[in-house]
């Protein structure tokens, strides 16, 4: 994409008050990437249309992901690819990710096509999901970092503070399990999810959370091929695993000539696929049995440790749920007031003018909610004058549902 697109090279910003709390970062993380299929061809064939469509792609992916997962974070944007991460704090989360990620893929393309008057956008999404045990180290003390790694080899991956300002810090993830996700994404395909062998192993071997159907989930996973991946498993063949809900009709997602240049699809056409029970044999032969036991241990530790307020999963009945939006009237030094026009892709009140807002989340105060929201949506820093709102009101959305808003006064810094 062009260098003047300010969306590229974004990276998730984490509040600086969390930096330095190594224990908070330590645990098992899930990573997800969404990538547009045939993006280059689309840019060439639609030189006037693609900048708008791609810009909307980023917004749609972010909206769809955060609608389904309240604790997920944008990791970074890489060209036509958007990456997310989330620390696992409850084992039931692992059972919910794959079905929801697949549904999100469908929603993304439907939304993109609805943006076009001819409804003929030849795009699809690829999705890759993987996991990694991660810990934070002090990058200023290399010798200490080496000792920490010797003490606990199970945490082969690290999170680092890549850069910081007075108010925010940017983080990144590094390590062999992080690299693995980018290696297997090469073998992703539209309308399926490519997942790592570690994740598939956990899903099959972890204790089934109450109310979850392990058999149904595992039946959606298949080893479709084996590939040598650079820097992975010392060049031993790695199992390429797809998640799909209807393997009896898997051929319906392929183009008629897809098998001509893809041995993966050839394998599927010739029924040369296996269930993931084969992973036990693979890990035994590779002498990775102890490593996988450690992975289960890390999962249990991640799920048993007390989470920070923002990551706690709280069971609340639907009758007690409330949706509250914080709205700021933002003045500048010229006594002007900030207003913005809602994009046409918004679920509610499309194309209307507004002051902007941020949706209140558990564990976040009014002021922090506003400061974070206006920084993300408008790229401005604001000063909120009071901890308490000056007024509150309700609006009815397009589906006749009531939405509560609380109003604050603020100033652009």
**Closest to 36 in 3D by CA, of 12, 11, 1, 9:** 1
Backbone angles phi, psi at 313, to 5 degrees: -95, 115
Domain ranges of the chain: 13-309, 318-412
**Closest to 30 in 3D by CA, of 127, 151, 107:** 127
Residue 321 pLDDT grade (very low, low, confident, very high; cuts 50, 70, 90): low
Q: What is the pLDDT of residue 1?
A: 36
Mean pLDDT of 76-91: 88
Residue 94 pLDDT grade (very low, low, confident, very high; cuts 50, 70, 90): confident
Q: Does the pLDDT at position 13 exceed 50?
A: no
Concatenate the DSSP letters of all residues of 106-168 into one string. Answer: HHHHHHHHHTSTT-----EEEEEEEEEEEEE--TT-HHHHHHHHHH-TT--EEEEEEEE-SSE
Q: What is the pLDDT of residue 261?
A: 66
Q: What is the pLDDT of residue 347?
A: 65
Percent of the chain scoring above 90 in pLDDT: 27
Burial label for 177, CB within 10 Å (0-12, 13-18, 19+), is buried
Give the start-end residues of each E strand in 6-98: 13-15, 27-37, 73-78, 81-87
Which residues 6+ apart lie within 8 Å of 234 measured at CB? none
Q: Any idea how long the chain is?
A: 413
Return the CATH architecture of domain 318-412.
Alpha-Beta Complex (3.90)
**Closest to 16 in 3D by CA, of 326, 372, 362, 387:** 372
Higher pLDDT, 21 or 42: 42
Contact predicate 173/156, CB 8 Å: no
Can you tell me the distance from the alpha carbon of 343 to that of 353, in angstroms, rounded to the nearest whole number? Answer: 10
Percent of the chain scoring above 70 in pLDDT: 78
Class (C level, CATH) for 13-309: alpha beta
Q: What is the DSSP letter of 255?
A: -
Which residues 6+ apart lie within 8 Å of 152 measured at CB? 135
Q: Does the pLDDT at position 134 exceed 50?
A: yes
pLDDT one-digit tens code per residue, 151-169: 456 788 988 876 544 444 5
Can you tell me the distance from the alpha carbon of 172 to that of 164, in angstroms, rounded to the nearest whole number? Answer: 12
Mean pLDDT of 123-131: 90
Q: Does the pLDDT at position 266 exceed 90?
A: no
- The whole-chain average pLDDT of the chain stands at 79
């Amino acid at each position: 994409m062009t260098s003047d697109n300010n969306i590229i090279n974004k990276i998730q910003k984490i509040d600086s008050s969390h930096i330095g709390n190594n224990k908070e970062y330590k645990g098992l993380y899930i990573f997800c990437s969404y990538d547009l299929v045939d993006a280059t061809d689309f840019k060439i064939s639609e030189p006037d249309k693609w900048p708008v469509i791609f810009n909307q792609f980023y917004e749609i992916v972010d909206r769809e992901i955060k609608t389904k997962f309240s604790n997920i974070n944008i990791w970074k944007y890489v060209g036509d690819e958007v990456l997310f991460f989330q620390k696992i704090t409850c084992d039931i989360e692992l059972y919910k990710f794959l079905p929801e990620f697949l549904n999100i893929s469908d929603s993304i393309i439907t939304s993109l096509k609805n943006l076009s008057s001819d409804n003929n956008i030849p795009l699809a999404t690829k999705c890759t999901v993987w996991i990694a045990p991660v810990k934070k180290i002090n990058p200023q003390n290399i010798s200490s970092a080496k000792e920490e790694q010797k003490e606990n080899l199970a945490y082969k991956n690290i999170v680092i503070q890549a850069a910081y300002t007075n108010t925010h810090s940017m983080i990144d993830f590094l390590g062999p399990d992080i690299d693995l996700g980018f290696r297997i994404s090469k073998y992703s395909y539209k309308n399926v999810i490519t997942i790592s062998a570690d994740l598939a192993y956990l899903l099959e071997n972890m204790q089934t959370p109450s109310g979850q159907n392990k058999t149904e989930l595992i039946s959606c996973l298949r080893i479709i091929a084996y590939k040598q991946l650079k820097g992975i498993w010392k060049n031993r063949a790695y199992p390429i695993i797809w998640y799909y809900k209807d393997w009896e009709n898997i051929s319906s997602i392929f183009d008629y000539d897809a098998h001509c240049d893809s041995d993966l699809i050839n394998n599927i056409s010739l029924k040369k696929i296996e269930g993931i029970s084969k992973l036990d044999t693979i890990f035994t032969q590779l002498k990775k049995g102890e490593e996988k036991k450690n992975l289960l241990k890390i999962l249990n530790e991640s799920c048993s440790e007390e989470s920070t307020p923002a990551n706690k999963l709280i069971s609340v009945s639907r009758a007690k749920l409330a949706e509250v939006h914080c709205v700021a009237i933002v003045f500048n030094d010229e006594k002007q007031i900030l207003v913005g026009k809602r994009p046409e892709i918004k679920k509610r009140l499309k194309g209307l003018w507004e002051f902007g807002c941020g949706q209140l989340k558990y564990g976040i105060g009014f002021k922090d909610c506003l400061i974070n929201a206006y920084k993300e949506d408008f790229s401005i820093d604001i000063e909120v004058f009071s901890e308490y709102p000056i007024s509150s009101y309700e609006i009815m959305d397009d589906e006749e549902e009531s939405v509560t808003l609380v109003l604050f006064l603020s100033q652009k810094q």
